[in-house]
Amino acid sequence: MQIMDKSDKIFVAGHRGMVGSAVMRRLKTQAFSNVVTRERAQLDLTNESAVAKFFEQERPHIVLAAAAKVGGIKANNDYPVEFLVENLRIQNNVIRSAYENGVRKLLFLGSSCIYPKFAPQPILESTLLSGPLEPTNEAYAIAKIAGIKLCQAFSREYGANFISAMPTNLYGPNDNFDLETSHVLAALLRKAHEAKTRNDRKLVVWGTGKPRREFLHVDDLAAACLLLLEKYDSPEIINVGCGEDISIGELAELICQVVGFDGQLAWDTTKPDGTPRKLLDVSKIRALGWRPAITLQDGIKATYDWFVANFAQ
């Protein structure tokens, strides 16, 4: 078992993103004193030689690979080239440089969209590569699967302790609230807020409202990441979710209730539903003693407060 020392040098790749910033908050409250970050303007993670130079100079002990190009169903569907190329570049550079510079442990973050579209629910880790992917996020999923396989290859061929976690759909502070590129929860929070502010009677939701998704607050994921860095040393992927799902229709109603919008929901069925259901089997991480602390209702409320304080006009 690998225990992290509070003075270990930890590189958080993607520290400005929703996941990276949650990990930064968690590292701070846990009194880790040697965290290394780089702004995008200082270090372009898609640039191979720049990443190699950074690792040679800094030589971190631990790496949390949370940098990625991410987006909701529309962005993923519209820009497969960018999702594939950028993510492959970032992860290849970070994972390889980590190995070449003696990183003791690396945690790579994947996504629940790596699993087959019609995987039995709840989704077991062992269903990876057992069937076709959901087309709307295939490019992103293929990149993430390549990242998992690269970590496993470094582990098998060179004995590296590089692990991969698969979080379910995430939300929380620093989420993307752009309506074209965001995920559903952030999009609906913003739409409901703006509809309330404008006194609209109608809020447009994409798809049929029937797909089911599982939502995890990013602070719960951050706690899971630290636990995995401390306690999980297997190259086998591990799911991180809350173990419960909800339909998009129910989510929209819950969000309207939290925001205080009492108009009608309207369904835009010209927009894709995506995969019918995505609920992770979380027995493996539960057995390590982790479970989420934030309920969906409380998490949505806290995220709405954050949105109003930081984003809303």
| Site of interaction with ligand GDP (CB under 6 A) | 72-73, 113, 137, 169, 182-184, 187-188, 205-207, 211, 213, 248, 271-274
10 Å Cβ neighbour count for 74? 18
CB of 186 to ligand GDP, least distance (A): 8
Least distance to ligand GDP, CB of residue 196, Å: 16
C-alpha to C-alpha distances, 88 to 29, 84, 145, nearest whole angstrom: 32, 6, 10
Nearest distance, CB of residue 78 and ligand GDP, angstroms? 12
Q: Of 206 and 261, which CB lies nearer to ligand GDP in the complex structure?
A: 206
d(CA 145, CA 20): 20
Q: Shortest gap between Cβ of 51 and ligand GDP (angstroms)? A: 28
Please tell me which residue in 99, 115, 140, 232 is annotated as part of the active site. 140
Nearer to ligand GDP, 115 or 154 (CB): 115
User: What is the smallest separation between the CB atom of 163 and ligand GDP, expressed in angstroms?
Assistant: 24
**Which of left, alpha, beta for 165 (phi over 0: left; psi -120 to 50: alpha)?**
beta
- Based on CB atoms, which residue is closest to ligand GDP, 110 or 274? 274
Closest residue to ligand GDP: CB criterion:
72
Structure tokens at 1: 């078992």
Rounded to whole angstroms, the Cα distance separating 195 from 125 reads 40
Collapsing DSSP to helix, strand or coil, 135 comes out as helix
Between 235 and 272, name the residue whose CB sits nearer to ligand GDP. 272
158 has catalytic annotation: no
Nearest CA among 94, 99, 98, 70 for reference residue 82: 70
The DSSP line for 205-235 is EES-S--EE-EEEHHHHHHHHHHHHHH---S
The beta strand positions in the chain, using DSSP E, are 10-13, 35-36, 62-65, 105-109, 162-167, 169-171, 202-206, 212-213, 215-217, 238-240, 246-247, 264-268, 277-278
Least Cβ distance, residue 260 to ligand GDP (angstroms): 19
Q: Any idea how long the chain is?
A: 313
Tell me the C-alpha distance between 270 and 272, whole Å: 7
Catalytic residues, which ones? Answer: 140
